[in-house]
Structure formats: C-alpha cells, structure tokens
Amino acid sequence: MPARATDASRAAVLGSPIAHSLSPVLHRAAYRELGLGAWTYDRFEVDEAALPAFVEGLGAEWAGLSLTMPLKRAVMPLLDEISETAASVEAVNTVVFTEDGRRVGDNTDIPGMVAALRERGIEQVESAAVLGAGATASSALAALARICTGEVVAYVRSPERAAEMRAWGERLGIEVRTEDWADAERALRAPLVIATTPAGTTDALAAAVPGSPTTLFDVLYDPWPTDLAARWSAYGGAVVGGLDLLVHQAVLQVEQMTGRQPAPVVAMRKAGEHALASRNIR
C-alpha cells in the first residue's frame, strides 16, 4: 500500500443506511490507544448518487474512507488504483489517500475473514459450506480460496444465484458446487460453515445443528447471538461472529490509514462489545 498523506488526520465511514455502523467506535478506540489524539473518524450518510461529489470535495486533511453498502462497487471508477484483493471480488471497502494525491482502493473484508478464523486456530480446512450468495458470500469465497484445499458447497435460493456463485468460484480459483437452500441443513456438517445471510434467515436451521458441530462463522453481529450461533455454541462448536470480522477488517483499515502498526485489536474489540451491550443487544 502506498504511503498515506502525511498531514492527514481525518477519516470516516460512508454508506446508506449508516447510523448503525460500529466503525466509528472501533476506529476511535484505535486512535485513543495509539495516542492519535488529533485524529477524527466520523460517519456520513452517502448514497451512490452523492458519492462522486463527496469524494471530490475532500481536502488534504483526509487519510481515508471506509465504505459499506451500497458504495463498495460504486467507488471503483473514482479511484486511481485498486488492489488485487479488491479487484478479485469487484468490491472496495477501504480508500487510502496517498502523499501524491492518489486514491487507492482495497478490500479488508477478505483478509479480515482469514484473520478472524486464524485467531480461533483455523489455518486451513479441507472443505467448507457457504450459506447465501450475496456480496458477503463472494468475499467468503475469496477468503476460502486462501485456506480451503477442497470443495466449497454454496446453498442458494435460485438458479441465478447458483450460477453467480459458480462464476465467482471460477474467477477466484476455488471449486464451488451449489445446492438448493431447501437442503441447507446438510451444510451444518461441513468442517467450516460460513453464514452470510441477513438476520433471521438461518433461524430455522438452528434445530438441525449436529451433536458435535465444528466451526461456524456467522457474519452477523446485531442481533447477537443468532439462533444458529447460540445453538452451535451450546453444542460445543466453535463460533466466529460478525464482530470478529468487523474488528479484523477495521484493524487493517486503521493500519493503512494511519501508517501505525500493529493496530490495537484487543482495545477495538472491547469498544465494540461495549457499544453493542449498551444498545441492549441480546
């Protein structure tokens, strides 16, 4: 990653909707721990139509941006350089402004997933299952391309989604087989299960969790735990949650935007847990 602008001390997360974002909590906690008292991190409600003008209006004080839906693809034409990781899934969640004025896009969701799994001792798996076929599912496939040595089975709701997942597999160099969502209970016996679906979608699968589950990576963090994660944990399985992903992708963003390494993982996670608890998350 090229060097960021040295006089920069401002960053923010953009998206629509954005009020729910935990990114400011995590980044501000990192700044406090790193002694970056002059740094600020805000959130802005920005949709696809407003994004070009917003980016063009940023001054030299800006170090970078975090991007959430629906901007991860919309930002790409506005950038001067895109990392291979971001290009592989056609999604940018991080923009860093460099000393020479360039806008460099990256995707920290993918290495963030890998780091979250590694933190729980998951370095490599022989096979895996993915629940869902949206944008997060493509990032999950990209992460699995780094750690899965065999087949990935994706459980989807339509032939169109199935075709998309197989195409992503070919692009990412990983073998993807698709199955109908009606058979999603079969996924729960895979060595690693990654649930990428919206809240409530996997609730019906909780009753089918096997007696000795392996590892579940559920990308949701609000509400938490999901019914599936709660049952999985109760049966002794390892659970990686959405907050783990959010923290690890934010760690990489902080390091890129501030130029300081390592980012304070523990402090960032504690700040995220406190914020969720204060919102009465179950």
Instruction: Give the residue numbers annotated as catalytic, written as ranges.
Output: 72
SS (H, E, C) the chain: CCCECCCCCEEEEEECCCCCCCHHHHHHHHHHHHCCCCCEEEEEECCCCCHHHHHHCCCCCEEEEEECCCCCCCCHHHCCEECHHHHHHCCCCEEEEECCCCEEEECCHHHHHHHHHHHCCCCCECCEEEECCCHHHHHHHHHHHHHECCCEEEEECCHHHHHHHHHHHHHHCCCEEEEEHHHHHHHHHCCEEEECCCCCCCHHHHHHCCCCCCEEEECCCCCCCCHHHHHHHHCCCEEECHHHHHHHHHHHHHHHHHCCCCCCHHHHHHHHHHHHHHCCCC
